[in-house]
Amino acid sequence: MNFEEVVMKRYATKSFDGKMIDETKVNKLLELIRYSASSFNLQPWKVKIVKDRQTKEKLSPLSWNQPQITTCSHLLIFCAETEVKELIDKLEKQMLAAGAEKEKIANYIKMMRDFEAGMTPEQRLIWAQKQAYIALGNAINGAKALGFDSCPMEGFDPKGYARELGLPAHIVPTVVCPIGFANDKPMAKMRFDAKDIIA
């Protein structure tokens, strides 16, 4: 399926049929997510994956009881990773291990450190969350490309999710994406006119 088909066939699935996606395919999707773009390549997000029925049931009331939560195969919870300093350290190590010369990457590393230091904790969270939305885009397109469906969802209680999933404070639930096989039919796509998206 070429990218145009993917974009035109993807839709926010309202309910799934409950069948499980093969783990091989889920792992392929995670690779498409992992290779998403991010600012400075810092990848400031993590995905929490839920596939057991009990946890889905517990998350359902924290998600307005939307049927996608309990009928999906896997629930991907995109979380912002706010410990950005640690990510910079990790990326620097990885670059050096891959053969980069310390002096040659020094400016790049400094730029990242200055950028990180210049943000308030709230700005850091928002910045990380924005990058998570790019990864979300690869997830929903990737799901369709791999032959299943998805539904990006903001309607959930991030604090309740963090509590229920036992996430540490630096991992902040940001946007949820159930994946599975659709049990509904897509409505005709509706968007604003082409001229209306131009500033």
List of residues contacting a copy of itself (CB under 8 A): 1-4, 6-8, 10, 12, 27-28, 30-37, 39, 41, 43, 45-49, 77, 79, 90-91, 94-95, 98, 126, 129-131, 133-134, 136-138, 140-142, 145, 152, 154, 165, 167, 171, 175, 188-192, 194, 196-199
We find the least distance from the C-beta atom of residue 100 to a copy of itself, in angstroms, to be 9
Q: Given the complex with a copy of itself, which of 47 and 71 has the nearer CB atom?
A: 47
Q: Given the complex with a copy of itself, which of 24 and 27 has the nearer CB atom?
A: 27
* Gap between the Cα atoms of 127 and 131, Å rounded: 7
We find the least distance from the C-beta atom of residue 181 to a copy of itself, in angstroms, to be 18
Q: Given the complex with a copy of itself, which of 18 and 41 has the nearer CB atom?
A: 41
Q: Given the complex with a copy of itself, which of 18 and 22 has the nearer CB atom?
A: 22
* Gap between the Cα atoms of 37 and 14, Å rounded: 28
Q: Given the complex with a copy of itself, which of 18 and 96 has the nearer CB atom?
A: 96
We find the least distance from the C-beta atom of residue 145 to a copy of itself, in angstroms, to be 4
Give which of 94, 164, 172, 169 is closest to 131, Cα–Cα.
172
Contact criterion met (CB below 8 Å) for 141 and 6:
yes
* Gap between the Cα atoms of 87 and 43, Å rounded: 8
Q: Compute φ and ψ for 30, nearest 5 degrees.
A: -60, -35
107-126 burial by CB neighbour count: b if 16+ within 10 A, else e?
Answer: eebeebeebbeeeeeeebbe
